[in-house]
Amino acid sequence: MAEPVAHGSTAVSAAGADGTAVLEVRDLTTHYGPVRALDGVSLRADKGRITAVLGANGAGKTTLLRTVSGLIRPARGQVLLDGTEITRAPVESMVGRGMSHVPEGRGVIAELTVDENLRVGALFRGKTPKEEFDRVYELFPRLAERRNQPAHNLSGGERQMLVIGRALLARPRILLLDEPSLGLAPRIVAQIFGLVRQLVDTEGLSVLLVEQNARSALSVADVGVVLNLGRVVVTDSARTLMADEDLRHAYLGF
């Protein structure tokens, strides 16, 4: 059983990684009525890294992301983006501040076409150069084929590509991903995680990834944070967590 390690730093290197926190969460506590969904959670997501938040169903992973992006008000604690407190900032302002949240269930707007979904993602910027849309279509050729189809025609994998592409159009510094692997075939999961890794390594993007599929998540992440019943159990490098058999059995289910 691993001892809880506070903010374990790792030697994993990535393009933009320099050990500065893009996102920092301090002592975050969120209630759902009498239930304490998050109980004093502190963690950080460093620049140019993938930080994976792992844990069983009900551990508080989704609540964490929803509190960070302002969809839920915390009872206590702080959220800092690049050192600036954003704890009670309106949800609508988050993309403008450089944080894109891809919610649970992917958040495709099914009634809109693929192209319209992408354009909604760029609305807040006003005029967005056509090249940026082209780049998303280059990244995901499948989307280009279906750009004028309603998004409800897309497969699960294509939907995940769409929401990641849409989030990228906001040019975020940090991307919050909620269970991107949910309901996808292992091959597609590998493909999507590979792409996220590539974006992080080549463009210095930072990612806070929430996953129940701990094995896949740890294989792509730099740092892992294990959550149980709303509390952080351990924070360490993905490699160390992967090697800790007791911890894996106890909290990660593999």
CB of 92 or CB of 131, closer to other proteins: 92
- Give min distance, CB of 91 to other proteins, in A: 5
Give me the least distance between CB of 155 and other proteins, in Å please: 11
Neighbours of 119 (CB within 10 A): 15
Nearer to other proteins, 172 or 230 (CB): 172
Q: What gap in Å lies between CA 81 and CA 21, rounded to an integer?
A: 8
Question: Nearest approach, Cβ of 120 to other proteins (angstroms)?
Answer: 4
Query: Beta strand 174-178 with 99-102: parallel, antiparallel or unpaired?
Result: parallel
| C-beta of 92 vs 246, nearer to other proteins | 92
Half-sphere exposure of 135 (CA within 13 A, CB side): 14
- Would you say 159 or 197 has its CB closer to other proteins? 159
Q: For the chain, what is the radius of gyration of the CA atoms?
A: 17
- Return the number of the residue (45 or 223) whose C-beta is nearest other proteins: 45
- Pick left, alpha or beta for residue 107 (phi over 0 → left; psi -120 to 50 → alpha; otherwise beta): left
The footprint of other proteins (CB under 8 A) covers 69, 71, 91-96, 100-101, 103, 107-112, 116, 119-121, 123-124, 150, 152, 166, 170
Q: For residue 171, is it left (φ>0), alpha (ψ between -120 and 50) or beta?
A: left
Least distance (Å) from other proteins to the CB of residue 169?
9
Residue 22 or residue 238: which is nearer to other proteins going by CB? Answer: 22
Token pair for residue 251?
Answer: 């909290």
Name the minimum Å distance from CB 152 to other proteins. Answer: 4
| 234: β partners | 226
The residue type at 222:
D
User: Minimum CB separation from other proteins for residue 18, in Å?
Assistant: 28
Q: Which amino acid is at 144?
A: A
In the structure encoding, which two tokens stand for residue 63, read together?
A: 């609540």
